[in-house]
Chain A
Amino acid sequence: MTTYRASMDDKVRPVSANRKRLRKQLPNYLFVIPHYLFFAVFLLYPIFRGIQISLYDWKIMLQDQKFIGLANYQALTKDMIFRETLGNTVYFTVLTVGINVVLALLVATALKQNFRGSHFLRVLFYAPAILSVSVLGIIGIRIWDTQLGIVNYFLTTLLGLPRISWLGNPSLVIPSLALTTVWWTFGFPMLVFLAGLQSIPEALYEAAKIDGAGRLQTFRHITIPLIMPTMLFVVVTQFISHMQVFAQPYIITAGGPGNASRTAVMYLYETAWKFFRFGYASAISVVLAGIMIIVTIFLFSVLRSRVEY
C-alpha cells in the first residue's frame, strides 16, 4: 500500500482519498439503498410512467399504444368538467386550509396554557384525526342530513329556523364538506403549532410583559413572527393534502348535486377507472401535480420571506 502510494503522482492522490472515503461511507450507503430502491420503484418510476402515458391514447390491453403527443393536454384545456372540478378543489382547499390554520393556531395558543384539563383537551381535539375516512363519511352524513342531521336538529329545535339542505344546495355543499374535514384534520396542525409555540423562549414573553405589551400585541409581534417556520410547514402540507381531496365527497355526496362537489382527483379516478381513459387521466394527474408544485413554490417564497429565527 505504501509502495503504491509512493509511486502515485499528485493528480491521482485525490482519487485514492475518495476511495477511502467511499469505503468508509459504504455501510451508510447500504443502509439508505433500500429506501432509494423503493423510492425509485414505487415513486420515481410511476411518476415518469404517468408522464409517458399522458402522451398516449392508452388502452389497457393494447400491446402497441398510440402516441398522440400533447393531444390529451390540449383536450384538457377545453374540458369544462376539469375546470369545474378544479375550481371545486381549489375552493375546498382554500376553505379547509384557511380554517384549519387559523383554528389550529388559536386552539394551540389556548392549549399552551397550563390549566387543568389542557392535556385532556389536546387529546380530545386530536381524537377525530384517528378516524378512518369511511367513518368520517358516515358521521358527515349524520351531521348534514336535511331531515335527521344534527346541525338541522339544532337549527330547527333550538333556534326555530327552517331546515337547510346542506348537501343538496350547490353553494353550501363544499363549505359543508370543508367544515367536516376541518373537524377531522385540524388536530394535526394544532399539535404542530403547539410544538412550535412551546419552542418560543418564555423570556421573550416575559420581556414583552415587562414592557407593557398586551396579549394581542404579544401574539402579533412575538408569537406570529416566531411561529412562521411552523406556519410554512403547516400551510404547505395542508395545501398538498387537501388539494388531493377524494374520499369525503366520494362518500358523503358522490360529487353531487350535479358536479357541485366533484373534485379533480375524483374526476381523475373516474376518468381512469370508470371511463378507462388512462392517457387522459394521466394528463390530469400531471397538470394537478404541476399546479401543486407551482403553488407550493409560491407559498415557500411568500412565507419564507417572513420567517424570523
Chain B
Amino acid sequence: MRKFVFSLVILLMLVLALGACGGPEAAPTAESAAPANEAAAPADTAVEPAEEVVQEEPTVDPNLPTPEPTPIVNAFGECDDPLILWHGLTGTDGAVFAVMLENYVNETPGACLSSEGIPWDIFFQKYPTAVAAGTPPDMVIFHAAEVNQMASEGLMMPLDDLIYNDGTLSKDDFNPVLMDAITYDGETMAVPFDNHGWLLWYNTQLLENAGLDPDNLPKNGDEFIEWAQMLTTDVNGLHPTDEGFDPDNVDVWAIDWTWPRYTIPTTMWQFGGGILNEDGTEVLLDSPESIAAIQYWHDLMYKYYVAPPAVPGKMWAGDLYANNRLVFMWEGTWTGGFMKDNPDVAALTKTAFINSLAPDGNQAVKFDSHIMSVPTGVDEAGAAQAKQLMAYLANNGEFWATSGQVPAKISVQQAPEVQAIESVAMAAKQFNEIGRTSVPHKAFIEIQTAYETAVGNALASADADVAAELQAGAEQIRAILARP
C-alpha cells in the first residue's frame, strides 16, 4: 500500500512537472510576463522595482551575434585619480553609453574614469548615503523629474558657475521646458544629456490589412475608437463590434496601456487636466478633465475591448508588438534600440507624434531627460573632471542617438546623422513642439507613487470607480502638498 501511494505521488509529480513544461497549446511565439502592475518599463528609465521582462523565446534573429551584457562597473583608461561616475543606464542603451565613454577616454588626453551602472532603486539608496558620508561619486546621471527632490535634499551642486557661465555650454541650446525643470531656487542644477519619452510606434501592415491609411492617422479620441474597433480582433477574427467577439481571447489589440509614468500625464494633459497645476500648488488629479482621461482608458479596456486590461502580469506591449499583435504602441524613444535588434519588426513600423485621445484632438506628450550633475561635496578636481565629461557627452550626442534617445542639445538634434534616424528625428520634433515635463516638486517621487497607485486602482477592474479612485489619490497628494 505504501509503495503504491509513494509511486502515485512520484507519478503525479512527474505529470505535473512535464505538463507544466509543455506550456499552453496556443502560446504565442514570443511572449513575456511583466511582473509589475504596470507594463514592463525599460530598464534605463524605471525608478520603480519589479519591471523585469522575462523572455519566453528569443525574438531576435538567431543569426545575429549574441549580445553581451553591459558591465556594471567599467573602467576606462588608467590614472591615479579616475572620475567616478554613477548612473542607471543598465539597459540596452548602457552598451551605447559604454562606447561613448570609451571614445571620450580615447579622445581626451589624460582622462580616465570608472563608470558604475546601478539599478535606479539601488542608485537612490547609494547616492544620498554616499553624499551624507562625504564620499560622493564625482558625477551622477539620473532624471530631470527627480532634480527638484534631490536638490531640495541638498544632494546636488549648482552648475551655473561650473559649466554655463563660462560659455562651455549654453542654456539656450537646450529645450527651455527642460531647463525650467532642472532649475532649483534660480540655479541650474544639471546638464541635460538627452530627451526621452513617449513616441507612437505603429504597425503599418496591420493598418493596411484593416483597410486603413497608415499615413493618415486618427486625429482625436472619437476617431481613434472607430479605428481601434476595426483593428482589434479575437482569435476567431471577430471585432469588438461583432456578435460573439471573445474579449478573453484577443489576437490583435489596437492599443495597450504602457508605462503609466508617461501614459498618465500624457493623456491627462491631452484632456486639459494633469496631476498638479503649473506651479505645483494645486492638485488636478481629480479634476473633471483628468477623470475623463482615465475614464477614456478604462473604456478602451472594459467597454470597447480594444486594449488589454491594465492588471499585474499582463503581457508587455513590446512582446505583443513584436508578434504583430499590437497596432499602436505608446512606447519610449529607447524602443529604437529594440527596433535595431529586430529589423523585421522595424520594417513594418513607423513613428509619429503620440496620437491625441482627447475629444478635441489636443496634443501633448510627456518627456524627461537623463541629466548629468555633480553631487554635493565633490572637490574641485573632481568637479573639473566632471565638467569635461559633461561637456563631451552633451556635445557628442550624435552617437547617443544611435541608442534611440534624442540628444539634449538642439544644435546636435539638427545634425544630419541624427536626422537620419527616423524615430529620433520624430521624437526630437515632437518634444520640442508639444513636449511637457512633470511639474517639479520636492516630494515628486511620493506624488508620482500616489497618482500611479490611484490610476492603477482605477484601471484594475471593469467595475472600478475611476472618479473615486482618483479622488482618493488626489487627497493623498493634497496631504503631501500641505506638509511644510
Q: Which residues of A contact B (CB under 8 A)?
A: 59-62, 80-81, 115-117, 121, 137-138, 141-142, 144-150, 153-154, 156-158, 162-163, 165-170, 173, 250-260, 262, 270, 273-277
Contacts and interface: CB of A to CB of B under 8 A. Distances in A.
B460 A258 contact: yes
A153 to B, nearest CB: 6
Main secondary structure of the interface of A (DSSP, over half): loop
A257 B31 contact: no
Contacts of A62: 154
A144 B20 CA distance: 12
B37 A253 contact: yes
A276 B128 contact: yes
Contacts of B445: 274-275
A274 B35 contact: no
Given A141-B313, A274-B124, A254 B35 contact: yes
B312 A168 contact: yes
State which size class the interface on B falls in. 35 or more
Contacts of A165: 309, 311, 313
Interface string B17-39: 00110011101000101011110
Interface in B434-468: 443, 445-446, 449, 453-454, 456-457, 460-461
Nearest to B7: A117
Interface of B: 2-3, 6, 9-10, 19-20, 23-25, 27, 31, 33, 35-38, 47-51, 54, 56, 121, 124-125, 128-129, 131-132, 149, 153-155, 248, 309, 311-315, 376, 443, 445-446, 449, 453-454, 456-457, 460-461, 469, 472, 476
Given A137-B35, A168-B311, A256-B36, A59 B153 contact: yes
A255 B38 CA distance: 11
Given A167-B313, A257-B311, A275-B445, A61 B24 contact: no
Nearest to B21: A150
B132 A60 contact: yes
Contacts of B248: 162-163
Contacts of A81: 476
Contact of A169 (B38, B121, B457, B461): B461
A275 B128 CA distance: 12
A257 B456 contact: yes
A40 B38 CA distance: 42
Contacts of A163: 248
Given A115-B6, A258-B456, A274 B313 contact: no
Contact of A148 (B9, B33, B454): B33
Contact of A145 (B2, B19, B25, B33): B33
15 contacts: A137-B35, A142-B54, A144-B313, A146-B313, A147-B315, A148-B23, A148-B27, A148-B56, A253-B36, A254-B35, A254-B36, A256-B453, A257-B311, A258-B460, A274-B445
Most buried by B among A137, A158, A270: A270
B54 A138 contact: yes
A84 to B, nearest CB: 10
